[in-house]
Structure 1
Amino acid sequence: MKYQVKKNLGVTLRQGSAEFRVWAPFAKSVHVAIPYIPFHTEGKIAMNPEKNGYWSVSVSDIEPGQNYKYVIETANGDWVERNDPRARALTDSDQGSSIIVDNYFDWGDDMFMPIPKEHQVIYEMHIGTFNRPDAATPGTFRDAIEKLDYLRDLGITTVELMPVTSMTSNSNGWGYAPNQIFSVESSYGGRHGLMEFVRQAHLRGLGVVLDLVYNHFALTDLWQYDGWSASPDTGGIYFYNDRRGNTPWGTRPDYGRSEVRQFLLDNVVMWFNEFRLDGLRLDSTAYMRNIEGHNDDPANDIGEAWRLLQDMTSLAHHVRPGSLMIAEDTSVNEYITKPVSQGGCGFDAQWGLNFSHAVRTQLGLPAPFPTSLESELPKKYNGESFQKIIFSDSHDTAANGNERLNEQMTPDDPVSVWARRRSLLACTTTMTSTGIPMLLQGQEFMQDGDFNNWRELEWSKAEQFAGIVDAHRDLIDLRLNIEGHTSGLVGNNVNVFHNNVANNVLAYHRWNDGGIDDDVIVVLNFSANDFPEYSFVLPLAGDWKVRFNSSFRGYSDEFPDTGLDIVQTNSTNAVTIPLAPYGAYVLSRIK
């Protein structure tokens, strides 16, 4: 991969001065207004044209905190005011001006190293609602820091932040309509707020992954940036100016234009070098590489986007070795996670949306693409179990007209005993299946209601359902093999050896090398039937210890505690166990 940072694009602070450089190839002239005052022309400083459409100027007596904007004379003589595409901060995400920032931040002795894939449990977080101070005030990075100890104690290893780049006011507060990808949303606490969040997370042993949107940009300052476009309805220098520009959400960047590629690659570098992130999740990569978001559709493929994705993953792994690069592709395409050297995109993992469909199907709920766990569990990309992110709920499944799983299961009472049993069944499935497991914020304490950008988490539920939180903690401990008895759950192997379709009971074997404290058996009852004596045959003889029982009364005094402790096979490897409605067991081999 050939990559070289274009020096000094944006603002470069020097001792008492600053150099400004911007790309505006069709401009007749470019000025920088500093300080920027709307509708005032005084104080504009003319910039000097360079080769290849760049403009620059060095300005003295510049300090961090000053605001500025570029004032561009277009080819037809009109004047437009634009924010710096590489501004590290904005006074306002919609109509504000750019701010000169001091890049210094005291990271202390932060030497955090990214966590291996097989030892990760991810927690998807929306900063604006995760820990709101009150119903009228969006949450900030500082507010979220207050709950990092809770996440560490829960067993979470990695926080995945929904987008925090500067966003338009019509983006539903989720950040999926970015207007300035180098700037952190000011209402969340800005760039230093994010840096402090990452520093505090690292102090607690937590990695941080950020969700980014490169498949489209909002129609703000980048739109017809220097006044040029192929037509009045196309986006100009940063965008495709033909049908490739169309996506369901906004206009697609021109991945084939070297300056735009550089813009995006420099952004990837910034998140690792300036913010010390441990990974990135790229939103809807299918709509980067194909006009319609399809597989096997050569007529609509965007080959230069595929090459850009390869460059992004290669660059990320070079700049931040061990970083976790996630693609939300949802296309079940193994080339997304195949190494670049083999023609793949080089991502470490991809969003496993089909897993959530399988959980819903197994629970008898409607799913966009019904499928079974028996077929979904063994699926691997390129022979590796941890190239997919699995979850029963995410921001996609819990919003956009959908509901959180517990509300979908029992809409009349989403925190009922039946909702709690089913929620633990879903979590057991997630934490014991092949893949990197993820929880949606609040899932562990039965959060209900719409998942949107204004409804805060009800933290009182964490106390009300403390037993359910404990169950999630126990499952995470097993998933990470904290006690050393379930190493099979961090292994690459799975065998669905029992599928009683009539009674909706499923059992599978997980293992790494096999043997004592390695072999794990998972038994799941997806029905409301109570089986006092349920018999089936294990794939291995031996004695098995119950490491998790979802019906344990310690998780809820309304649960029917089956009291099972040791399971022994007979001469035919058969066992008989009590199996509660929507019950789940995790067993590990002790003999």
Structure 2
Amino acid sequence: MTTSTPASTPASTPAGTPAGAPGELDIHLIHEGRHEQLWKVLGAQVDESGVDFRVWAPNAMEVQVAGGWADWEGARHPMSRVDDSGIWAARVPGIGVGAAYKFRIRGADGAWVDRADPMARYAEKPPRSASIVWHSTYEWNDDAWLSSRAEKVAVDEPMSVYEMHLASWRKHYSGDLYDWHQIADALVPYLDDLGFTHVELMPVMQHPFGGSWGYHVTSYFAPDARFGDPDGLKVLIDRLHQAGIGVILDWVPGHFATDEWALARFDGTPLYEDPNPQRGWHKEWGSHIFNFGRHEVRNFLYANALYWLEEFHADGLRVDGVASMLYLDYAREHGEWSPNKFGGRENLEAVQFLQEMNATVYRRFPGTVTIAEESTAWPGVTGPTSEGGLGFGFKWNMGWMHDSLNYVAQDPLYRSHHHGQMTFSLVYAFAENYVLPISHDEVVHGKGSLLRKMPGDRWQQLANLRAYLAYMWAHPGKQLLFMGCEFGQESEWAESRELDWWLLEHPEHAGVHAMVRDMNAAYAASGALWGRDNSPEGFGWLDANDGNRNTFSFVRRSPGEPDVVCVANFAAIPHEGYRLALPATGTWTEILNTDAAAYTGSGVGNLGGITGVEGEHHGQPAHADIVVPPLATVWFRREG
């Protein structure tokens, strides 16, 4: 199957309309800010005999298209204004896919500038910055995946996400980057073996500075040319789908890069950015903020979201920096912001945009998901837009992340004083649909690797890491883990070098890797661990108050699935004769023990299982006397 579409001939174009202009319906939808396939109308639309160039620059005095085919002399191809639509158009015959171009614009300020195409679907490899005419010929092979996805609701499905930065996951010995095809060759079998259900790619949109990790975008519709042409990204996603792995793309609609050849002051005016400096400049990140009050800009953004889902078959979007969009006073001191029309600090236009984007995504692409990186207590982030919510599928649980990392960073001797940091998350765990994130932000900028956050000697650090991950996987919510954490990455992450793959030659790090693989398998096979992530009926404490022994025990439930009991011991000693409350009598099989000798643990366990006997304990009808390994998490599944 192919989803690529050649440029359409403008329908019902009035007489006298400039060559290359879009049709009347397209112009009307663009003017209204309601064109859901904007990329099929603006930009460079190629056919058998040439290219129609179209760009939105309403305040420009003149516009030309300059390209290598004309020695970059823009005067040879002047563009014409299409009525009062703000669109300029020109047809250039005799060129096609691969032609490099820019728009040469005399802006409202009278200055001539060269701009990359905001709608370009391919761009030159940095540091070059021209756009490239592109038309996809890729034939997809993931029909079965898409059909299955459309029948599912993500919150009711297993989701363990591997977050990765493509440029630093692996590198050639020469120092060059892998291309899309080489990444697919290495990544697909790796993730398939580890059992992650999804991969989240840090921004793959074109960005000029690699050190920004992709969060300062210049070409929103163009995949990063450092890895090859756009069809290469389709190969990667297609192969992941064929292996049963979903793909979530990081998406950055809150702010954009300042490069003079990109979106900034595009037509000599603040066109894409908010003209009010109190709203249009992000001083913390040194970037422009989109003008969410302008419907053409909102259209550009939500059409971009749809583009990645439609053209690249992405399964979801993780929306970066949502809090920075929601609040007018975000990262601003008193006097640096002005309230909205109701006197509040909420950015009402940004709220409207997020609601429009989410509602449109879920209407057009059932089974996909949007995820908000939102760090405040904004109500209803995952609430339906019909009830005033933002409409996201999930929200990152930043509170759980901060509290749990603070807890495990403590020496076991002092953890009893911080016990509530691990239990507090259950007070609000079902207020939103949550993802538990251990992301790139937690292992960079002096924070150290996840392994190095753990106290004690090396054995204890590795044991802490294994115990923490298994506690995280059993906790209500979906999981996200940054690359390298799955084998105990030693050094802090840096985008300039690849992961410490050599660590897998050491048994203790290979043990972490093996534990993560077995944990993902046990998780996927145990519907109790994910079937009711968004409901308090899916969770019950067995003992939340055993701070003196640094232990936590709880049960996970889902209709039609065997219960799973999790016991986590964050003390450095085992607990013999530990009376564990159980919700039922009978056999409970040990399906995961992070202290297993196979993972280079101490091998303390319960010979594969325990038996629950009648007798009330902590409000439960049954119990078992067990041994709890040191610095370990154990999962038991009820049999029969």
Same fold (TM over 0.5): yes
CA distance in structure 1 between the aligned counterparts of 2:196 and 2:44, rounded to whole angstroms? 38
Deviation at 1:419, TM superposition (A): 1.8
Counterpart amino acid of residue 3 in structure 1: R
- Report if the CA contact (8 A) 1:334-1:381 is conserved: no
Q: Which runs of 5+ in 2 are unaligned?
A: 1-31, 332-338, 617-621
CA distance in structure 2 between the aligned counterparts of 1:450 and 1:587, rounded to whole angstroms? 34
CA distance in structure 1 between the aligned counterparts of 2:52 and 2:247, rounded to whole angstroms? 32
Deviation at 1:497, TM superposition (A): 2.7
- Report if the CA contact (8 A) 1:497-1:509 is conserved: yes
- Report if the CA contact (8 A) 2:409-2:453 is conserved: no
CA distance in structure 1 between the aligned counterparts of 2:633 and 2:398, rounded to whole angstroms? 22
- Report if the CA contact (8 A) 2:104-2:112 is conserved: yes
CA distance in structure 2 between the aligned counterparts of 1:287 and 1:511, rounded to whole angstroms? 36
- Cα deviation per residue 1:167-204 (whole Å; 9 max; x = unaligned)? 122x5151111111111111122412211110111111
CA distance in structure 1 between the aligned counterparts of 2:33 and 2:92, rounded to whole angstroms? 32
Counterpart amino acid of residue 637 in structure 2: S
CA distance in structure 1 between the aligned counterparts of 2:125 and 2:203, rounded to whole angstroms? 17
User: What residue in structure 2 maps to residue 232 of structure 1?
Assistant: none
Counterpart amino acid of residue 592 in structure 2: F
Pick from 514, 531, 543: which aligns with 1:490?
Answer: 531
Q: Which runs of 5+ in 1 are unaligned?
A: 229-235
User: What residue in structure 1 maps to residue 559 of structure 2?
Assistant: 513
Pick from 181, 192, 212: which aligns with 1:152?
Answer: 192
| 1:543 and 2:574 matched | no
| 1:422 and 2:454 matched | no
**Residues 120 and 263 (structure 1), Cα distance of their counterparts in 2 relative to 1, 3 Å cut:** same
| Matched residue SS, 2:46 | strand
User: What residue in structure 2 maps to residue 90 of structure 1?
Assistant: 123
CA distance in structure 2 between the aligned counterparts of 1:389 and 1:460, rounded to whole angstroms? 30
Deviation at 1:128, TM superposition (A): 0.5
CA distance in structure 2 between the aligned counterparts of 1:474 and 1:261, rounded to whole angstroms? 44
Deviation at 1:106, TM superposition (A): 1.8
| 1:565 and 2:609 matched | yes
User: What residue in structure 1 maps to residue 28 of structure 2?
Assistant: none
CA distance in structure 2 between the aligned counterparts of 1:488 and 1:156, rounded to whole angstroms? 15
TM-score scaled by length of structure 1: 0.90
Counterpart amino acid of residue 237 in structure 1: L
CA distance in structure 2 between the aligned counterparts of 1:505 and 1:96, rounded to whole angstroms? 56
**Residues 13 and 355 (structure 1), Cα distance of their counterparts in 2 relative to 1, 3 Å cut:** same
Counterpart amino acid of residue 335 in structure 1: G
Question: For structure 1, which segment, 538-547 or 217-226, has the greater mean C-alpha deviation from structure 2 after superposition?
Answer: 538-547
**Residues 81 and 44 (structure 1), Cα distance of their counterparts in 2 relative to 1, 3 Å cut:** farther
User: What residue in structure 1 maps to residue 20 of structure 2?
Assistant: none
Relative to its length, the structure with more helix (as a share) is: 2
Matches within 5 A, 1:389-468: 389-391=435-437, 393-410=438-455, 416-464=458-506, 465-468=509-512
Pick from 100, 106, 119: which aligns with 2:133?
Answer: 100
- Cα deviation per residue 1:440-486 (whole Å; 9 max; x = unaligned)? 11211111212121221233334533332221122112222x2xx65
| Matched residue SS, 1:372 | helix
- Report if the CA contact (8 A) 2:484-2:499 is conserved: yes
Deviation at 1:332, TM superposition (A): 3.7
Counterpart amino acid of residue 195 in structure 2: G
Matches within 5 A, 1:180-195: 180-195=219-234
Counterpart amino acid of residue 423 in structure 2: E
| Matched residue SS, 1:490 | coil
Counterpart amino acid of residue 121 in structure 1: S
Pick from 280, 287, 305: which aligns with 1:245?
Answer: 280
CA distance in structure 2 between the aligned counterparts of 1:450 and 1:418, rounded to whole angstroms? 19
CA distance in structure 2 between the aligned counterparts of 1:334 and 1:112, rounded to whole angstroms? 34
**Residues 486 and 108 (structure 1), Cα distance of their counterparts in 2 relative to 1, 3 Å cut:** closer
User: What residue in structure 1 maps to residue 49 of structure 2?
Assistant: 16
The count of residues paired between Structure 1 and Structure 2 equals 568
| Matched residue SS, 1:59 | strand
Deviation at 1:543, TM superposition (A): 3.4
Q: Root-mean-square deviation (CA), in Å?
A: 2.6
**Residues 344 and 42 (structure 1), Cα distance of their counterparts in 2 relative to 1, 3 Å cut:** closer
TM-score scaled by length of structure 2: 0.83
Counterpart amino acid of residue 635 in structure 2: V
CA distance in structure 1 between the aligned counterparts of 2:513 and 2:235, rounded to whole angstroms? 27
| Matched residue SS, 1:20 | strand
Q: % of aligned pairs identical?
A: 28
User: What residue in structure 2 maps to residue 231 of structure 1?
Assistant: none
- Report if the CA contact (8 A) 1:127-1:188 is conserved: no
| 1:223 and 2:264 matched | yes
CA distance in structure 2 between the aligned counterparts of 1:43 and 1:111, rounded to whole angstroms? 50
Matches within 5 A, 1:278-297: 278-293=315-330
CA distance in structure 2 between the aligned counterparts of 1:570 and 1:442, rounded to whole angstroms? 44
**Residues 292 and 140 (structure 1), Cα distance of their counterparts in 2 relative to 1, 3 Å cut:** farther
Deviation at 1:377, TM superposition (A): 3.2
Matches within 5 A, 1:46-195: 46-50=78-82, 51-108=84-141, 110-113=143-146, 114=149, 116-117=154-155, 118-134=157-173, 136-145=175-184, 146-169=186-209, 172-195=211-234
- Report if the CA contact (8 A) 1:489-1:520 is conserved: no
Deviation at 1:422, TM superposition (A): 0.8
Pick from 271, 296, 304: which aligns with 2:349?
Answer: 304
CA distance in structure 2 between the aligned counterparts of 1:54 and 1:371, rounded to whole angstroms? 58
Deviation at 1:570, TM superposition (A): 4.3
Question: For structure 1, which segment, 487-496 or 65-74, has the greater mean C-alpha deviation from structure 2 after superposition?
Answer: 487-496
- Report if the CA contact (8 A) 1:313-1:345 is conserved: yes
User: What residue in structure 2 maps to residue 380 of structure 1?
Assistant: 429
Pick from 237, 252, 256: which aligns with 1:213?
Answer: 252
Counterpart amino acid of residue 187 in structure 2: K
Deviation at 1:373, TM superposition (A): 2.0
| Matched residue SS, 1:46 | coil
Deviation at 1:388, TM superposition (A): 0.8
